Amino acid sequence: MAQDDTLEGIDEFLENSAKEFDAPGLAVVAIKDKEVIYSKGFGYRDVDKKLEMTTSTIHPIASCTKSFTSTAIAMLVDEGKLEWDAPIREFIPRFKMKDPVATNQVTIVDMLSHRTGLPRHDFVWFNDEFTYDLVLERLPHLDSSKDIRTSFQYCNLMYLAASVIIEELSGMNYNDFISKRIFKPLGMKDSNFSLTVMQKTPNFATPYKIDYKDENLGYIQCDYVVNDVATGAGCINASIDDMGKWLKFHLNRGKVGKKQLVTADNLRRTHDSVIICSMTSGLDFWMPNQKWFRMETYGLGWSGLMYRGYRVVIHGGGIDGSSSLMGFLPDEDIGVMAVVNKSDCNLSGAVVYNLFDRFLGLDPVEWNDIYTKKDAGIIKSVQESSEASQGLQITDTKPTRPMEEYVGKYHHPGYGDFEFYIQDNELRSKCGSVEYPLTHFHYDTFQYDIKRFDVKGLLTFHADDRGQIVGFAAKLEELTPPITFSRLPDQYLRDADFLKSLVGKYEAVGIVLEIALRGDDTITCSFPGQQPIELEPVRGMRFKTKDESYSIEFKKDESGKISEFLYIASMQVIPARRIE
């Protein structure tokens, strides 16, 4: 591997940069003129064990995964199994969104360029019991925040949906497709799709994050959150050696050796800009007068921007314990990737742009100073927000009900189940197996703690006109109204034996009403001469009609047998006594 003259002093620069950003470890690869000219690891992949970072150390590359998904889609377009600009429903009829216009018009280009109108809704897949093949069932229940093709809104769910499309059109699941069609031909031997698998390999990066409890804001080891469910959006783990091969593949316009894996035209389609994100740059927030970046765009699995007059195709990846950035200049045959085993660390950006400056022969920008100031600003905002949020609390209040009243499972058709339970005399919550500690905030509002992100949110329980808790709402997606979860009925209310005990005829004000069993888990109520109306279980011994026009609450006598029910409609309560 011949080293370019422009890389003079690069080892010292990178080593010092890692220290300046307080990074446990750093790995870098650079390509010029279609050859790897630099590849090296710095610091430690495991600080406690003093295990050095190497170029074959495996890292989660998080959203850098998206470029693999868009390349796989390009391969299907090559084969005539999909068209870039045709509605997805022509190929996957069951594709559906809540917005009927989007349902009929969304194309694979819309999905991969984040312009479907759907915002992130990431909490849908943060549930570790979620699997990517559920995504098409969840999409119809998620609110859009914009009309289709009007705005860029980053949405991981659309890449999960793209994985399902790859599976249905190719007959192979996503992992097998990427392994067979990309990893193997490119020789990406260190790459996989599972953090569980990654951690069984002999050389993987230990994750670290900022310790906000430390006065010096040092780093501490954190847990890898299993991201296997983020299929197509952020599931790939790879070494810097492998990612060098990936960048080289794109600079070679889809060719490996003499073999063309995907046509140059369709691969270029993934690089080309589809939607403008900003005419300037996100860096403007921190440096309003910066002149290096202009016109940030998004293509298909890749971002685009103009950097100091040069076209750059680029994408970042961030997940618990890993920060990465990869990018290439297609017109200059330059590619660079940097990855750090620490969350929310802009060292990867400072390294990539420093190397771009070197290769382009430009006066170097002091990227270390710029990005360390940005990191410090982000840290400060997190700390100040945490302190200021407590000012929203109404003090000296307490829950309006005993803790037991909040216990139960709650459901949203797009987000799945959320469970509340009591442990050690405290109300707790979980989604899947992921626990979210709760603290009473005020009245029926509780603060939940998302420990993996060091952030907190609020949820508020809701009661019906009977004073019973029937749901809660939480701002899980900032661009849509609060997500409302409905309380699931007690499980025994669907039990066949219990429902059989309710079956019979009841008399109220001279009218005979009949409760009957439909199937094994549903009861109906019928008035004389009318069709039976299905009743939905609520809680305790209470049922209601689907339109909530009335509810029925069964009662037991002293012997424990069902003796009557209360017919409740608006403010009317009419007893109906059992007659047979």
Q: Using one digit for the tens of pLDDT, what is the confidence trace for 181-215? A: 999 999 999 999 999 999 999 999 999 999 888 88
User: What pLDDT, on a 0 to 100 scale, did the predictor assign at position 5?
Assistant: 76
- pLDDT surpassing 80 at residue 475: yes
Looking up tokens 């889609």, which residue turns up? 73
Looking at residue 343, its amino acid is: S
Segment among 79-88, 148-157, 464-473 with least mean pLDDT: 464-473
At 449, is the pLDDT very low, low, confident or very high (cuts 50, 70, 90)? confident
Residue 52 is given by DSSP the state E
Which tops the pLDDT comparison, 216 or 579? 579
Q: What is the pLDDT of residues 299-331, one digit of tens each?
A: 999 999 999 999 999 999 999 999 999 999 999
Dihedral pair phi/psi, residue 124, rounded to 5°? -60, -45
User: What pLDDT, on a 0 to 100 scale, did the predictor assign at position 171?
Assistant: 97
Task: State how far the Cα of 369 lies from the Cα of 373, in Å rounded to an integer.
Answer: 6
User: What pLDDT, on a 0 to 100 scale, did the predictor assign at position 580?
Assistant: 85
**446 Cβ neighbours under 8 A, 6+ residues apart:** 427, 438, 439, 440, 458, 459, 460, 461
Count of beta carbons in the 10 Å neighbourhood of residue 254: 21
Count of beta carbons in the 10 Å neighbourhood of residue 123: 20
Per cent of the chain over pLDDT 90 is 82
- pLDDT surpassing 70 at residue 100: yes
At 387, is the pLDDT very low, low, confident or very high (cuts 50, 70, 90)? low
User: What pLDDT, on a 0 to 100 scale, did the predictor assign at position 4?
Assistant: 60
Looking at residue 332, its amino acid is: E
Q: Which domains does the chain have, with CATH numbers?
A: 5-384 (3.40.710.10), 403-487 (2.40.128.50), 491-578 (2.40.128.50)
Task: State how far the Cα of 337 lies from the Cα of 26, in Å rounded to an integer.
Answer: 11
Evaluate whether 578 touches 502 at the Cβ level (below 8 Å). Answer: no
User: What pLDDT, on a 0 to 100 scale, did the predictor assign at position 129?
Assistant: 82
At 121, is the pLDDT very low, low, confident or very high (cuts 50, 70, 90)? very high
User: What pLDDT, on a 0 to 100 scale, did the predictor assign at position 42?
Assistant: 98
User: What pLDDT, on a 0 to 100 scale, did the predictor assign at position 401?
Assistant: 94
Cα radius of gyration rounded to whole Å, the chain: 28
Q: What is the pLDDT of residues 326-368, one digit of tens each?
A: 999 999 999 999 999 999 999 999 999 999 999 999 999 999 9
Token pair for residue 28?
């870098």
User: What pLDDT, on a 0 to 100 scale, did the predictor assign at position 3?
Assistant: 56
Residue 482 is given by DSSP the state P
User: What pLDDT, on a 0 to 100 scale, did the predictor assign at position 386?
Assistant: 63
* pTM to 2 decimal places: 0.92
Instruction: Identify which of 428, 384, 482 has the alpha carbon closest to the alpha carbon of residue 121.
Output: 482
Residue 192 is given by DSSP the state B
Instruction: List b or e across 349-376, with b for residues whose CB sees 16 or more CB atoms inside 10 angstroms.
Output: bbbbbbbbbbbeeeeebebbebbbebbe
Which tops the pLDDT comparison, 301 or 288? 301
Mean of pLDDT over the chain? 93
Evaluate whether 449 touches 436 at the Cβ level (below 8 Å). Answer: yes
